[in-house]
Amino acid sequence: MMKRLIVVCLFCAVLATLTACEDFNINIPQAEHTNSEATTPTTKTTEAVSESQVRNQATMPTEVPTVAATVPATQFPTEAPTVTLNAEDCVVSAMEKNYQYTDNVGNAYDVTMRIPKINNIAGVSFDDVNEQIISDCKRYFDEADKEMADKVSMITLSMDYDAYIINGVVSISVSHVSSFGGLANFYIYNVDIDTGNLVSNAEFAERLGMSYDELKEKVKVSLENDYKKQYDQATYSHYEENLSKTLADDNIADAQIFVAENGQLSAVCLEYTSVGAERYKRVIVVE
C-alpha cells in the first residue's frame, strides 16, 4: 500500500512538471509573435511617409526657383552700365562750307572751313558753349561769303577744329589761319561734360592731376624751350627783352590750355619778337 502511494505521488509530481514546461513553451512563441506584430505597423508607417515624400517631390521642387531664373538678366544688371564717350560722336560740325572760286586778278581758291558744336549728352545742354562758338567763329564764314560773291581775295586760308575728351572734360581747339602773313587765331573751349559749363585753366589743371602752379611752370619751361628753337639770339634784336616778355607771369597766365586730338597737353601762347607783327600766337606741346 505504501509503495502505491509513493508511485502515485511521483506520477503527480512528474505530471505537474510537464504541465509547467508546456505552459512555458507556449508563452515563448507568443511573446516572439507579439514583438513581430508590434514592429510591423512601424515599418508600414515608414513606408507610407516615404511614398508621400516621393509624391511631393514629383509635384513640388525641393528648392524655390530664384527670380533670376525666370527674368532675363538684362533687366536686373548687377552694375550700372558705363558710358564711353567718343569725341567724334560728341563733337560734330556745326557749320561747314567749301569755297571754290577765282578772284578778279586770277587767284584760285579752294578752302574748306568748319566749326564745331557739342551734342547734348545724357540730358546735359551745351547750348551756351555752342552759341559762344558761333559768336566767335561765324564771322569768318560771313567774311568768306562776301569775298566769294565779290570775287576778291580770300582772307581765310583754313579753319578747322580738333576735339578730345579727358577726365570729364571735352577739350576743343579751333584754328583759323589768315593770308596776312600766315597769322593764326585760336579759340579754345574746355567744357565740363556733366554740367555743360566752361572750365578755367586752374580747374582743368586739377582734372589733369596737378595744381595750377605746376601747370603754369610746365607751360613756362616748354614755352622757353620752343622760343629758343624758333629764334636765334644772334639774329633777333632785343632777344633777352622779348624772351622776358614771353615768359612773364601775365603771359603764362593768359596761355590757352587744351588737349590736342592725339591726347597731348598743349597750350596757345604769345611769343614776342622784334620783327613782323612783333608777337605771334603759337601752339606748343606742354611736357
Which of 125-134, 158-167, 175-184, 190-199 has the least mean pLDDT?
Answer: 175-184
Q: 55-84, pLDDT tens digit by residue?
A: 344 333 444 333 333 333 333 333 433 345
For 109, the grid coordinates are 581758291
Instruction: Give SS3 for 117.
Output: strand
Q: 98-130, pLDDT tens digit by residue?
A: 999 999 999 999 999 999 999 988 889 999 999
Instruction: Give SS3 for 127.
Output: helix
- Name the pLDDT band for 228 (thresholds 50, 70, 90): very high
Instruction: List the end-to-end C-alpha distance of the chain, in Å, as a whole number.
Output: 149
Looking at residue 84, its pLDDT comes to: 59
Which of 6-15, 133-142, 277-286 has the least mean pLDDT?
Answer: 6-15
Question: What number is the average pLDDT over the span 15-34?
Answer: 40
Indicate if the pLDDT at residue 271 is higher than 80. yes
